[in-house]
A and B are shown apart, each in its own frame.
Chain A
Amino acid sequence: MSQAVSHGSHGHGHDDHGHHDQESLKVFGFWLFLITDVLLFGTVFATYIVLHHNTNGGPTPKELFEMPGVIWETFILLTSSFTSGLAVLQMHKGNKKGLIGWLIITVLLGLSFLTLEITEFVNMANEGATISTSAFLSSFFTLVGTHGLHVTVGSFWIIGVIIQLARHGITDVTKRKVTITSLYWHFLDVVWIFVLTIVYLWG
């Protein structure tokens, strides 16, 4: 067979080419990962839906959920999604300071979300509603906890990216990392909307 004509068609310098493809390839892989994560959440949601009536004489959703806290959590998470969008905007402008600033705000919002969520969990546990109380609570803590775990991972991840941005500035590699983390962050937002609807509003 003949050979592919040299892929110099990228135009820019040698060290750069190939690298460029690598970064977009990684973003593509991240989309594939998100598909699997959707399925993971889908399975956890399905178990919640199957088990949420099985309260085993323990507290029911109605008795347990305190809406004001949940509304705050929702508000904070949605805002953090917005600020992570602003960060990406700054990145495209090439403004490193603005980018880092918005990322820091995003992380802080994420951590406040987690604080609220953990407080909520602790309060429930104090009222005797733990993961081992009933099948409903097992599936509740697992569903909301899985989301919380994702937010925790995301927060640490963004902190890592912030440090790398401070060290290396905005490069192809850090750009890709910011893109991926913000994709991830928006995704968590969408999942939360489902948690809110199916667990809290519906319950």
Chain B
Amino acid sequence: MFGTFFITGDPLILGAQVSIGLVSLAAIFIVTYFKKWKWLWTEWITTVDHKKIGIMYILAAILMLFRGGVDALLIRTQLALPHLEFLHAGHYNAIFTTHGVIMILFMAMPFMFGLFNIAVPLQIGARDVAYPYLNSLSFWLFFIGAMLFNISFVIGGSPDAGWLAYPPLSELSGSPGIGQNFYIWGIQISGIGSLASGINFVATILKMRAPGMKLMRMPMFTWSVLASSLTIMFAFPILTVTMAMLFLDRFLGAHFFTLDGGGNPMMYVNLIWMWGHPEVYIVILPAFGIFSDIVSTFAKKKLFGYKSMVFALMSISILSFFTWLHHFFTMGSGADVNAFFAITTMVIAIPTGVKVFNWLFTLYKGRINFSQPMLWTIAFIPCFVIGGMTGVMLAVAPADFQFHNSYFLIAHFHQVLIGGVVFGYFAGMYYWWPKMFGFKLDEKIGKWAFWFWNIGFYVCFMPQYALGLMGMTRRFNNYDTDLGWLPLNIVSTVGAFIMGLGFLFQIWQIVYSLRNHKKEKTGDAWDGRSLEWSIPSPAPMYNFARLPQVSSQDEWWEEKERRAAGVPVEPAQPLEPIHMPKNSGIPFIASIFWFIFGFGLVWDWLWMAIPGFIGIVVTLFARSFSFDTDYYIPVDEVRRSEEAALKGAK
């Protein structure tokens, strides 16, 4: 049994096992040595504070960016030279599969939820999200799902049927091992968490806004979160069902997507893309929101075309549900169907174009400040424009017969995913970093990171457009010298490593700034416009000592103008005790049971899955039966903490 349990025989994997073992031991040793277990439990693991949950999400996302990035470098190394014996075919399949899954589901998604958590309640003048306990549960479900997926590398074997796991490859007939089970349960568990987060943020934005904050006064990031969360609510149930059906096929011998028994693999392809296409908009919409906020803050101007921005966000989120078929134009749906989906896909370019022009008009004649968040925003615009144009090229159904599954496509989607999503979230991270931790990240090291990422990006992916047109298709690990692809592949691999350097510089930037930062005292690090900049950094646990009364868009900016103009300030309202949720260990414990349940099902071990399931039910009941879930922060304590923040500011 252990022969199939632990993966052995490959030096790469042995290396991974040893390093995972060492890192875990080191972590346990450090926490024990500094006697931090209790602190870890009470301050972080059981926390229901959205700001801390946000930080944990972002930390996890950076770890996963590392894992996914190492996968990417392995892929590119293999492709650098023809007939390289670095990764053999099976291993290569596993690596591009885990790379795709990890980057989208375990890097982009948590990064996004992290930023939601950090910024949304503060932007709308709320003390919390709508369901803080559920928020913590969402995080732990994501985390456990990601861990379950990641251990497949050393235990049992990774999935290798591609990031969307088309049947029959992902069926028992195509993937008889257990790797595909890890895929199903890793995604299923974290997906439930994502769905819950979607609901949470829709409710937060619709119901928790400060008095006077009408919908049309919300900051653009909050709008984009609303659009993205609504899309999550409509897309993720489809994923849940699809994964469940694939599981039934594999576990109980059902015939949803099998080639025999009347199953229909094409239905899987439809279902997975009905989730998958909206999914890419789920991750890009918040990036649009981040850029909008940053552009107006750093150009010190009101955002150009606010209403059209809102309209663009909402129409993109709706249209994203009507384009899924463009992912399989070549599968014989017929000309009419292809034409319909080609047109709906191209229509999305219109609202997207509107947004780009609005950003440019906002920047026009602005007094632009080129700090870190703005740099990444500037880099994003041309990158996204090129990526969008190649996307429209792919949307031309007849032309797609040429581009389909070629490196042209790989280059396109990395351009929008890296240039749009990753750059966007980096911009957001740099922008809200002072709000999270009370200091800015070092500019100088950041510029190095910025240039490595940007140059590396173009060096890596521009050659891939050409390679695609030269006929190089995706997902193979070998090519012949006489095809003439060698030079461009070498260049591309060099570019990938330059991006890797960019990542290392970012880590250095964070470590360096942790040691050598200057405290950011005003709370308003960038001379901002929305409410999160009106309170101290890092924000106190209750966010706002007194709930703000909002009377305009860019409320905090207007307030600063009013103060400068000497408009008399109303006397402060008396403080009141603040109602807060209590910490809870249940989300973490419940997620552990989810892990046991999922791991048991991965191995078909009912003796393990059943106790896991019972544990899940018991923890649900335990929560339902605990009535003592909140408390009040007394006025004295609020006053003390506000005074301390004021003193820090002086």
Contacts and interface: CB of A to CB of B under 8 A. Distances in A.
Interface of A: 1-7, 14, 18-19, 25-26, 28-29, 32-33, 35-37, 39-40, 42-44, 47, 50-51, 54-56, 131-136, 138-139, 141-142, 156, 160, 163-164, 168, 173, 177
B32 interface: no
A117 B423 CA distance: 53
Interface string B224-240: 00000000011011101
A131 B261 CA distance: 11
B556 A1 contact: yes
Given A32-B199, A135-B255, A6 B271 contact: no
Nearest to B627: A173
A36 B624 contact: no
B549 A25 contact: no
Contacts of A164: 624-625
B203 A25 contact: yes
Interface string B206-240: 11001110000000000000000000011011101
Given A3-B546, A36-B233, A50-B267, A132 B256 contact: no
Contacts of A138: 245, 248-249, 254-256, 261, 263
B579 A54 contact: no
Q: Is the interface of A mostly helix, strand, loop or mixed?
A: helix
Contacts, number: 148
Contact of B248 (A39, A55, A136, A142): A142
A4 B263 contact: no
21 contacts: A1-B549, A2-B551, A3-B573, A6-B573, A18-B579, A25-B131, A25-B203, A29-B200, A32-B202, A36-B237, A39-B238, A51-B267, A54-B264, A131-B248, A132-B261, A136-B262, A138-B249, A138-B254, A142-B245, A142-B256, A164-B624
A51 B265 CA distance: 11
B264 A51 contact: yes
A131 B267 contact: no
Nearest to B579: A18
A33 B248 contact: no
Interface string B459-489: 0000000000000000000000000000000
Nearest to B534: A1
The winner among A47, A136, A164 for most chain B CB atoms within 10 A is A47
Contacts of B555: 1
A3 B547 contact: yes
Contacts of B253: 131-132
B199 A29 contact: yes
A42 B245 CA distance: 14
B546 to A, nearest CB: 4
B262 A43 contact: no
Contact of A132 (B202, B244, B255, B579): B255
B572 interface: yes
B549 A3 contact: yes
Contacts of A168: 627
Contact of B237 (A1, A14, A28, A40): A40
B261 A2 contact: no
A47 B267 contact: yes
A134 B240 CA distance: 22
Contacts of B548: 1-4
B264 A142 contact: no
A44 B241 contact: yes
A165 to B, nearest CB: 12
A124 B210 CA distance: 57
B130 interface: yes
Contact of B256 (A51, A56, A177): A51
B559 interface: yes
B210 A142 contact: no
Contacts of A51: 256, 262-264, 267
B235 to A, nearest CB: 9
A43 B241 contact: yes
Contacts of B531: 1
Nearest to A132: B253
B33 interface: no
A146 B240 CA distance: 12
B556 to A, nearest CB: 7
Nearest to B198: A36
B262 A54 contact: yes
Contact of A1 (B198, B199, B551): B551
Contact of B570 (A2, A6, A142): A2
Interface string B188-211: 000000010011101100110011
Contacts of B577: 14
Contacts of A29: 130-131, 199-200, 203
B550 interface: yes
A170 to B, nearest CB: 14
A167 B133 CA distance: 23
A25 B207 contact: yes
A40 B203 contact: no
Contacts of A142: 244-245, 248, 254, 256
Contacts of B245: 47, 138, 142
B562 to A, nearest CB: 8
B584 to A, nearest CB: 15
B237 A37 contact: yes
Contact of B254 (A14, A18, A55, A132): A132
Interface in B535-565: 546-551, 555-556, 558-559
A157 to B, nearest CB: 8
A74 B576 CA distance: 53
Contact of B549 (A5, A28, A43, A134): A5
Contact of A134 (B210, B241, B255, B546): B255
Contacts of A139: 256
B203 A28 contact: yes
B634 to A, nearest CB: 12
Contacts of B332: none
User: Top 9 closest A-B pairs, CB basis?
Assistant: A54-B262, A135-B262, A132-B253, A138-B254, A56-B262, A39-B237, A3-B546, A40-B237, A4-B547
